[in-house]
Structure 1
Amino acid sequence: MLDVRRLQVLRAVVTSGSVTAAAAHLGYTPSAVSQQVAVLEKEVGTALLERVGRGVRPTEAGQLLTRHTAIISQDIAEAEAALADLRAGRTGRLAIRYFTSVGPALVAPALSRLRCEHPGVRIDLKLIDPEDPLQEVERGDADLAIVVGPRDNRRQGIRLVHLLDDEYLVALPTGHPLTAQRVLDLADLAGESWVGSEPPGPCLDLMLQACAAAGFNPTFVARSEDYATAQGFVGAGLGVGLIPRLAVADRRSGVVLCRVRHPEPVRSIYAAVREGAPEQGPLRALLQALEEAARHSAPANSSRPS
C-alpha cells in the first residue's frame, strides 16, 4: 500500500519544480525529501522524477501519482473538516424515539431549540415501540428514547434521565354530579362506567394499580388508545376516564377535568440514553432542551383544570 505522506512529498516536488523548494515548503531537509521519493520509487517499481537542468520534472508515472495525490489530499482535507464539524456538534445525526402525548409539550420545543443550536444535525424521529421502548437504544439504533416507567426498572447499559412526573386527571362529562368538586378521591369513581384511554403497557398498568389501591377495578364500556378519542367518548356521556395532564392541552368540548387523589396516579417520564453516550454535542443539547421543556410543562407552571 502506498504511503500517503510519501505521495504528498512527491506532489510537493512536482508542483515546486525542485527538491530544495519542496524541502523548504515541507520543513524537511533536501536529503530527507530525496530519500522519501527514492523509497516511493522502489515501492512502485519505476522512476517518478527525472532531472532537467538544476530542477526535476515528473515522469509519466510521476504525473499519474501526482494527479491522484491531489485528489487524495483534497479528500483528506474534507474528511478532517467533516470530522471537526462532527466533534464540535455542527453536523451528525440523532435518532429519537418518543410516544405521542409527549410530542407537543416536550419533543417539539426541544427539537426547535436543537435546530437553532445545531442546524446541521439531521434528526431521525419516530414513534416508539410500546412493547419494548428501550430496545432500539440498547441496540444502538436510537440515541435517545422518551419512556414511561419507574426509575428502578433499569436495563443494563441504559441511563435514565428524569424529565417530569405527569399527573393523571379525571375526565367527566359536563353535567356529571362530581364536576362540582375540584379534587376527587379515586374511590368516588368506583361505581362509574369507564372509558379507557391507554394501550397495554406501563401507563395502563399504573392506572389499574391506582384503582386497585382505591379498592376497585374499573368497568370499561369503551376503550381507546387515543386520548382525543377517549375525551370524545367521555364528552358523549359514555363514562369517565383518567387522562394524563400532558395529553389534555386541547380539551374537547363536553369534558370537565378534575384532579384526583388517594391515590394520585402519576406517570414518571424519562429520557433513556446509552451509558457512556457523549456528554457534549447535540445529544447533550437535546437532553438540556428536553429538561427545559419539561420544566415549562410541570404542573406548577400550568393552570389547574376546572
Structure 2
Amino acid sequence: MIDVRRMQVLRAVVTSGSVTAAAAHLGYTPSAVSQQVAALEKETGIALLERVGRGVRPTAAGRLLTEHAAVISQHVAAAETALADLRAGRTGRLGIRYFASVGPTLLAPALARLRREHPDVTIDPKLTDPNDPLPDVEQGHADLAIVVRRTSDESRPGIRLMHLLDDAYQAVLPTGHPLAGRRMIDLAALAGEPWVGSEPPGPCLEPITDACAAAGFSPDFVAKSEDYATAQGFVAAGLGVSLIPRLGLGTRHPGVTIRPVRRPEPVRTIYAAVREISLDQPALRALIDALVGAAKA
C-alpha cells in the first residue's frame, strides 16, 4: 500500500524542484526527505525523480503520483472543513424519537428554536408510539429520544437521562358527573367508577395503576384507547372516567370536565435520553437546552 504522507513529501519536492527547498518547506532535514522519497520508490517499484543539475524533476510515475497527491490534499482539506463545521454545530444530522403527546407541546417549539440557532443542521424526528425509543439511542440509530422513566428504572450504561418535565395526570369526567363540581378530586373517589384506559401497558400506565393501588383500589377498565382524543370521546359518551396527562389534554372534548387529582397525584416523568459520548455535539446540546426551555414554558 502506498503511504499517503510520502506522496505529500514527493509533491513538495516536485513543486519546489529540489530536495533542499522541500525540506525547508516541510520542516524536515534534506536527508529525511530523501529517505521518504526512496521509501516511496521502493513501495511503488519505480523511479519517481531524476536529477537535473542541482535540482530534480519527476519521472512520468512521479508526475502521476504528484497529481494524485494534489487531489488527496484537496479531499483532506475538504474533510477538515466539514469536520470543523460539524464540530462547531454548523452542519450535521440529528435523529430524534418522541411519543405523540410531547410532539406539539415540547418538541415543536424546541425544534423551531434549534432551526433558528443551527439552520444547516438536518433534523429527523420520528414518532415511536407505542415502542420504547431508548434502544434506538443505545444502538446509535437516533441521537436523542424523549422517554418516560421511573426513578426505580435501572440506568443504562453510556446513556444520560436529563429531566424535562413531571407531567401530572388529571381526572377526565363526563359533563354532569357528580364529581365534576369539585375543584379537586381524591383519587379514592374514583374507585367504584368504570374506567376508560388512556395508556398502553408500560411506563405511562404504571403511574396510574401505582397511584390507584396506593389509594386502595384497582381501576375497572371497561374500555381502552391508546389515543387521548378517543379516550375523551369514550368518557364524553358516558363509558367511564379516565386519567389523562396534562400534555395529552391540549385539545379538550366539549363533553368532558377535567379536574386535578390528589392523594396521590399520578405523575409521569419525562426525560431526554442521549448517549454520553454525543454530549459534546453543539447542535445536540442546543436541542437539549431548547427542550428544557420548552418544558419550563
Partner of 1:291: 292
Determine whether 1:17 maps to 2:14.
no
Deviates more, 1:43-52 or 1:283-292: 43-52
Partner of 1:137: 137
Determine whether 1:110 maps to 2:110.
yes
RMSD: 2.3
Partner of 2:181: 180
Partner of 1:223: 224
Q: CA deviation at 1:153?
A: 0.8
Partner of 1:66: 66
Partner of 2:77: 77
Partner of 2:38: 38
Residue 5 of structure 1 aligns to a residue in which SS? helix
Does the 8 Å contact 2:168/2:266 carry over to 1? Answer: yes
Q: TM-score, normalised to structure 2's length?
A: 0.89
Query: In the TM superposition, what are the counterparts of 1:193-204 in structure 2 within 5 Å?
Result: 193-204=194-205
Residue 50 of structure 1 aligns to a residue in which SS? strand
Partner of 1:301: none
Q: CA deviation at 1:209?
A: 2.2
Q: TM-score, normalised to structure 1's length?
A: 0.86
Does the 8 Å contact 1:130/1:201 carry over to 2? Answer: no
Question: Which letter does structure 1 place at the counterpart of 2:219?
Answer: P
Deviates more, 1:71-80 or 1:117-126: 117-126
Q: CA deviation at 1:229?
A: 1.0
Q: CA deviation at 1:39?
A: 3.0
String of CA shifts for 1:183-236, please: whole Å, max 9, x gaps.
Answer: 111222223232211111122222122223223332333211000111122223
Q: Partners of 2:206 and 2:37 in 1: how far apart?
A: 73
Residue 94 of structure 2 aligns to a residue in which SS? strand
String of CA shifts for 1:215-272, please: whole Å, max 9, x gaps.
Answer: 3332333211000111122223332211100111121222221111111111111222
4+ runs deviating over 6 angstroms: none
Deviates more, 1:163-172 or 1:130-139: 130-139
Deviates more, 1:49-58 or 1:264-273: 49-58
Seen in structure 2, the aligned counterparts of structure 1 residues 279 and 11 have a Cα distance that, compared at 3 Å, is: closer
Q: CA deviation at 1:55?
A: 4.1
Partner of 2:161: 160
- Identical residues among aligned pairs (%): 72
Query: In the TM superposition, what are the counterparts of 1:264-275 in structure 2 within 5 Å?
Result: 264-275=265-276
Q: Partners of 1:153 and 1:97 in 2: how far apart?
A: 20
Query: In the TM superposition, what are the counterparts of 1:91-102 in structure 2 within 5 Å?
Result: 91-102=91-102
Q: Partners of 1:277 and 1:16 in 2: how far apart?
A: 44
Seen in structure 2, the aligned counterparts of structure 1 residues 71 and 280 have a Cα distance that, compared at 3 Å, is: closer
Q: Name structure 2 gaps, 5 residues minimum.
A: none
Does the 8 Å contact 2:96/2:143 carry over to 1? Answer: yes
Q: Partners of 2:200 and 2:90 in 1: how far apart?
A: 38
Q: CA deviation at 1:68?
A: 1.0
Query: In the TM superposition, what are the counterparts of 1:239-254 in structure 2 within 5 Å?
Result: 239-254=240-255
Does the 8 Å contact 1:128/1:145 carry over to 2? Answer: no
Q: CA deviation at 1:282?
A: 2.4
Q: Partners of 1:28 and 1:134 in 2: how far apart?
A: 52
Partner of 1:303: none
Residue 142 of structure 2 aligns to a residue in which SS? coil
Seen in structure 2, the aligned counterparts of structure 1 residues 130 and 9 have a Cα distance that, compared at 3 Å, is: same
Deviates more, 1:17-26 or 1:36-45: 17-26
Seen in structure 2, the aligned counterparts of structure 1 residues 38 and 275 have a Cα distance that, compared at 3 Å, is: closer
Does the 8 Å contact 2:199/2:205 carry over to 1? Answer: yes
Does the 8 Å contact 1:214/1:262 carry over to 2? Answer: yes
Query: In the TM superposition, what are the counterparts of 1:202-221 in structure 2 within 5 Å?
Result: 202-221=203-222
| Residue-pair matches, total | 296
Residue 206 of structure 2 aligns to a residue in which SS? helix
Question: Which letter does structure 2 place at the counterpart of 1:233?
Answer: F
Q: CA deviation at 1:277?
A: 4.1
Does the 8 Å contact 2:132/2:147 carry over to 1? Answer: no
Residue 202 of structure 1 aligns to a residue in which SS? coil
Deviates more, 1:45-54 or 1:256-265: 45-54
Q: CA deviation at 1:135?
A: 2.3
Does the 8 Å contact 2:87/2:281 carry over to 1? Answer: no
Question: Which letter does structure 2 place at the counterpart of 1:140?
Answer: G
Q: CA deviation at 1:127?
A: 2.7
Partner of 2:150: 150
Deviates more, 1:129-138 or 1:194-203: 129-138
